Amino acid sequence: MSANIQAIKEEIENYKVSNEEELEQYRLRFIGRKNILGDLFAEMKNVPAEERKAYGQQINELKDAVTTKFQELIQSLENLKGDAQEDHPDLTLPSRPDTVGAIHPLSATRAEIIRIFERIGFNVSEGPEIEDDWHNFSALNFPENHPAREMQDTFFVEKKPDIALRTHTSSVQVRVMENQKPPIRTLSPGRVYRNEAISARAHCVFHQVEGLFVDEGVSFADLKQTLYYFAKELFGKQTKVRFRPSYFPFTEPSAEMDITCNICGGEGCNICKYSGWVEIGGAGMVDPNVLDNCGIDSKKYSGFAFGMGIERITMLKYQIRDLRLFTENDVRFLRQFTSLS
């Protein structure tokens, strides 16, 4: 009897299948209602009493081997099917079209702004996004109690209260003035961070571009003509520009620059707050204290500075109504700018 069980066990171990029919044959022979194991269980009554326990254990082990082998055969058959599919792909399936990427609208706008200012002598300078208090605040004439120094406005590095994510690229201008002698004419584009609620018009991470011109005899008229030139080159000759008095710690006098809203045509929308005008940046004459802080003689030299948000410029240029679209990576939105590549 043990020899018969051993023979069946070897048959199970050596069993192989290459199709569904062979698998079904295995199931009928070893698992089906009239399987071969049933005959072995039926022989239990003919086994001497002292040998029945050992015989029963052999039959149960054989039963477990049948089940395990059946699962292995199923898996091997699935593997064969997978290999066959890889060797013989479905040629009736439609092909995947080659998709061409596009320049992000923010990158395209940044590049265009740089080109416009390079034509009038500005060069590009960059600096670190993690800044110390001196370059981000103190050298720029921010008083100790200025709101920008508070946690609710600025992202400070933990355990280092004098280190923060830069809130503007003016810190780059400080580094340029510390390391270069006038005349200085530089443009500083880059990513900045402010602790603001995210909405259609604001974000905690955005991009700025700031300009600086320092030389002998620089006046506010030079600043206005530079920005008039920029606005008309970027938005078109029909664009109207206005300056409103304002205040910034690092410039005096200071102004905010508005242009006519080209999204609504001046009729009013959520972007221009229904005024017909959109602020695109701030500007002013560099405060003499800032020049002195950077080692430049304020009695001999003067200069102007300006800054604007690249997201705001891009929204106006391409008539985008929600600033959040720039960072959501929605392919449906980005596909609209494939022509920029």
Q: How far apart are CA 212 and CA 319, in angstroms?
A: 28
| pLDDT (tens digit per residue) in 91-114 | 788 877 777 778 899 999 999 999
Q: How far apart are CA 225 and CA 243, in angstroms?
A: 12
pLDDT bracket for residue 5 (50, 70, 90): confident
Q: How far apart are CA 178 and CA 190, in angstroms?
A: 19
| pLDDT (tens digit per residue) in 138-184 | 999 887 777 766 666 888 887 777 899 999 999 999 999 999 999 99
Which residue, chain included where needed, has tokens 């990576």? 329
What is the per-residue DSSP string for 75-113? HHHHHHHHHHHHHS--TTSPPPPPPPP---HHHHHHHHH
3-state class percentages of the chain: helix first, strand second, coil last, to nearest 5: 45, 20, 35
Residue 289's pLDDT is 95
Per the prediction, the chain carries an average pLDDT of 86
Give the predicted TM-score (pTM) of the model. Answer: 0.68
pLDDT bracket for residue 87 (50, 70, 90): low
| pLDDT (tens digit per residue) in 213-235 | 999 999 999 999 999 999 999 99
**Percentage of the chain with pLDDT > 70?**
94
